Structure 1
Amino acid sequence: MNLTRSAIKVFTAKGASSLIGFLGIAFFARELASDQMGSLFLFQALLGIIAIPANFGINNAVTKRFSEGESPESILSTAILLKGLLLLPFVAGIVLFQGAINNYLGDDLALLLIPALILQESAKLTIQVLKGELRVGETAAPSFFRSLVYICVGAILVWSGRGVRGIIYGLFAGFVVMLVWGMWKSSTTVGLPSLGHARSLFNYSKYAFISSVGGYFYSWVDIAIIGLFLAQSDVGVYEIAWRVTAVVMLFSSSIATTIFPQVSQWDAEGVTKRIESLLPEAIAVALFIAIPAFFGVVLFSRDILGLTFGTEYTAASLVLIILTGEKVIQSIHVILGRSLQAIDRPDLAAKAGVISISLNLVLNVVLVLSYGIVGAAVATAFSFIINSILHAYYLSKFVSIRIPYIRIGGCVAASFGMAIVLYIVESAIQISSLPMLLLTIGFGITVYVGFALIIPPSRGVILDNMRRAVD
């Protein structure tokens, strides 16, 4: 498997999906009030939180066991059975507590969580199977078309007056496309379930579950707590800022997705040196994008939110800066975290997750009550820094982690040069429209790449990966 080529495929699909998603969210935000957007985001947050125990880490366990070469047919059927059993109590709980859920969401949406949960978990399982088959690049297309169908169907229904429900119906349609595509592409058929494979999956998933709690917590716990203590409009404003920062994670998450099955295979074969040589290259590439994004957001946070989504969303400009800085750290963490799980030590990833989750929860409650949505951003950023440090410490016990400081320094220097040029441009012209903002951002990207090609360490990041892509 060509890791660079697979990462580019995944990144291209994720980039296109994020662009479509970004345009869709911008359209939804302009068509619906911020409190309606808050109801949508709370629905998605609750869906993500329920999915944590409903999946119990089974999806990650499937990828791990597939990549190790165990009986894939039996693993798949066992995983389907386990996931079905896990879903039942949550479906029953949603039905029983639908009144309280509707009050929390601010709309009559509770029962829609049931088909959303079933479709989401089924679709994600097919993608994990493809990853386990070491066909990571082929997960790009179904992920892209899921986003495309979701936004297109949602936009049509919102435009026709269906409101938040229309967006959720679009979500259903996207999951159906992803599910069908994944089943079509997978070469693994369903075999007989096995108690032995159930134990094998559970032995991995019980730790992967805690790690996934950490991931979902950082995605949704701040939204859930803001929904408890603040207004739904605050939820909408905060989540819009979060969605913008998600763009920063595109390439690093693509790299982490790509290297997981390969690192798992190398670990099973005992070739630790190959893992150690891969990690610094992966980190350098991830930060090549994350670092300049932070500099750009510091300069244009109010313009990005106000011109794209509306003036009411500029209240989250400081939140956007804080969360983008956090994404720089997360770009390293996602690679170290997936590598730690790939070497079959999800227990250590789980320990780091428990510590940071507890810290995140306490800080969110305290800081949201004291400082509102800015407090939520600070809580998330600080707890994630701790989480990243712990993951690096645990991984370093098994493989040597070499941080590519020189290449990172080159990226920082190129980003600083870009920021100076953009500051001069911003001082000379008034950015008063979205097209002008997009042109300025495009110009900034060009300037950054130009500086990166001039500075030897950052030039090495570009040229080395270009060579790998064409090999």
Structure 2
Amino acid sequence: MNLARSSVKLFLANVISAGIQFLGITFFARELGASQMGVFFLFQALLGMLAIPADFGLRGAVEKRISEGESPGAFLSSAVLLKLIPLALIVLGILLFRSWINSYLGADLAVWLALAIVLQEAAQLAVVVLKGELRVGETAVLKLARRISWVGGGALLVVSGLKAEALIYSLLGGMCVILVWGWYKSSISLQRPSASHARSLFDYSRYNVISSIGGYFYSWMDVAIIGLFLTQADVGAYETAWRVTTITMLFSRAIASTIFPQVSQWNTEDEKDRIESVINNSMVPSMVLVIPAFFGTIVFSREILGLVFGTEFAIASVVLVILTGEKILQSVHIILGRALQGIDRPDLAAWATVVSVALNLILNVVLILSFNDIVGAACATAISFALNTVLHAYFLSKYLTIRPPYAEIGWCVFSSVMMALLLEGIQTIVTVETLPQLFLAVIFGAVTYGFFILLFRPIRTSVFRNLRNAVGVS
């Protein structure tokens, strides 16, 4: 598998997908307002939380075992059987507690939540099967199709008069697209399941589930707690800021998704040097977009939220800065975490996750109540994820030699500071008050950062080498 080519392919699809999502959220936020967006985000938060017991780490286990190349059909069949019981129990629980769920969401959506958890698990299983087959690049089109279905269908339903329900119906439609298309593209056929295959999956998933808990809790715990103590408008503003920051992680996620099955394969072949090389070489590409985004957000956070989504979303301007800074940590963590799982040590990733999730839960409650504001949730997330990253680095260093390229990272920071200073200077001369002005400022910042970053020879050489590898030019 060509790592550079797969990463770039996935990244480009993610860029298009994120662009579509950004336009969609902008349209939905302007049409529906923060409160209705909050209803939808709370629906997604519950869906994310329920995915933890519904999957129990099996998706990661399936990807790991299939990537190892032995009996993929039997592993897949065993995974399907293992999923049936928890899914049935969760659906039953949703129906039994639908009154409480509807009250929490602010709309009659419990039945749709039950349907969503089933569709989501079936669709995501198809995606990890493709990843396990080392066909990571092919999953890009699935993500793009899901995003188009959500935004396109949601826009039509919003125009027809529906509110938060429009986004939920189109979300279900996107899951159906991945479900059908993903399984059609898969080349693995179901084979007779066995207790040994099920036991092997469980041995991996029992630790991987804790890492999954960390991912889902990291994404949705703060939203769920904000929904308990603050308003749906606060949920809408906070999650909108969060969605903006996820754009900065596009390339980082593409790299991490690509290296996991490859690291897993190298680990079975005891290719330690190659694993260390790919981890060290992945750090700067993973951080190269996140660092300037943080410094740019410091200058334009209020303008980004207020001008793009509406003035009621500007209450999350400080949140946007904090969460964008936290993404710098995440860009490192996502590489370390996938590498730790790839060398078959999900147990260590699990320990790091348990500690950070517990801290995140405590801090969310304490800081949200202390601040009585969504800034408390952002601080809780940033602090707990910093600890999570440090623990992952510590555990991985016990098996591999990690040498972060400090010079290149330092140059990324320097280039970002220079960009921010120039943007701040422009801001003092010409106040950014319209969307076209904000767009031009962002373009100017990107060009400035690109100019400075390419002045540093090691980064320039790496960029052009990876571009050549991506397009297949020697």
TM-score under structure 2 length normalisation: 0.98
Q: Deviations over 1:280-332 (max 9, x none)?
A: 11111011111111111111100100011000111100000000000000000
Q: Deviations over 1:410-456 (max 9, x none)?
A: 11111112112212222221212112211211121111111111122
State the secondary structure of the residue aligned to 1:32.
helix
Unmatched tracts of structure 2, length 5 or more: none
Q: Deviations over 1:354-396 (max 9, x none)?
A: 0000000000000000112101000000000000000000011
What is the aligned partner in structure 2 of residue 147 from structure 1? 147
The 10-residue stretch of structure 1 (346-355 or 454-463) with the greater mean CA deviation from structure 2? 454-463
Task: Determine whether 1:218 maps to 2:218.
Answer: yes
CA distance in 1: counterparts of 2:20 and 2:116, whole angstroms? 20
What is the aligned partner in structure 1 of residue 44 from structure 2? 44
| 1:292-441 mapped onto 2 (5 Å cutoff) | 292-371=292-371, 372-441=373-442
Structure 1 counterpart of 2:66, one-letter code: F
CA distance in 1: counterparts of 2:440 and 2:347, whole angstroms? 47
What is the aligned partner in structure 2 of residue 93 from structure 1? 93
State the secondary structure of the residue aligned to 1:402.
coil
What is the aligned partner in structure 2 of residue 5 from structure 1? 5
Q: Deviations over 1:217-273 (max 9, x none)?
A: 110000010001111111111111111101111111110000000000000100000
CA distance in 1: counterparts of 2:269 and 2:86, whole angstroms? 33
What is the aligned partner in structure 1 of residue 271 from structure 2? 271
State the secondary structure of the residue aligned to 1:33.
helix
Q: Deviations over 1:2-49 (max 9, x none)?
A: 001100111111111111111111111111121111111000000000
Task: Determine whether 1:71 maps to 2:71.
Answer: yes
Task: Determine whether 1:465 maps to 2:472.
Answer: no
Structure 2 counterpart of 1:373, one-letter code: I
For residue 467 of structure 1, report the CA deviation from its aligned partner: 3.0
The 10-residue stretch of structure 1 (89-98 or 158-167) with the greater mean CA deviation from structure 2? 158-167
For residue 461 of structure 1, report the CA deviation from its aligned partner: 3.6
Task: Determine whether 1:103 maps to 2:103.
Answer: yes
Structure 1 counterpart of 2:318, one-letter code: L
State the secondary structure of the residue aligned to 1:454.
coil
Aligned Cα RMSD in Å? 0.9
CA distance in 1: counterparts of 2:430 and 2:49, whole angstroms? 45
CA distance in 2: counterparts of 1:455 and 1:67, whole angstroms? 37
| Cα distance change, pair 412–458 in 1 and its aligned pair in 2 (3 A) | farther
What is the aligned partner in structure 2 of residue 24 from structure 1? 24
CA distance in 2: counterparts of 1:357 and 1:165, whole angstroms? 31
| 1:443-458 mapped onto 2 (5 Å cutoff) | 443-458=444-459
CA distance in 2: counterparts of 1:192 and 1:308, whole angstroms? 53
Q: Is the 8 A contact 1:64 1:264 kept in 2?
A: yes
Unmatched tracts of structure 1, length 5 or more: none
Percentage of pairs with the same residue: 57
What is the aligned partner in structure 1 of residue 237 from structure 2? 237
Structure 1 counterpart of 2:86, one-letter code: L
State the secondary structure of the residue aligned to 2:69.
coil
CA distance in 2: counterparts of 1:117 and 1:442, whole angstroms? 40
Q: Is the 8 A contact 1:241 1:320 kept in 2?
A: yes
For residue 60 of structure 1, report the CA deviation from its aligned partner: 0.5
Structure 2 counterpart of 1:277, one-letter code: S
What is the aligned partner in structure 1 of residue 81 from structure 2? 81
Q: Deviations over 1:181-202 (max 9, x none)?
A: 1111111011111111100100
State the secondary structure of the residue aligned to 1:436.
helix
CA distance in 2: counterparts of 1:227 and 1:353, whole angstroms? 23
Q: Is the 8 A contact 1:411 1:458 kept in 2?
A: no
CA distance in 1: counterparts of 2:467 and 2:37, whole angstroms? 41
Q: Is the 8 A contact 1:292 1:411 kept in 2?
A: yes
The 10-residue stretch of structure 1 (439-448 or 132-141) with the greater mean CA deviation from structure 2? 439-448
CA distance in 1: counterparts of 2:187 and 2:297, whole angstroms? 43
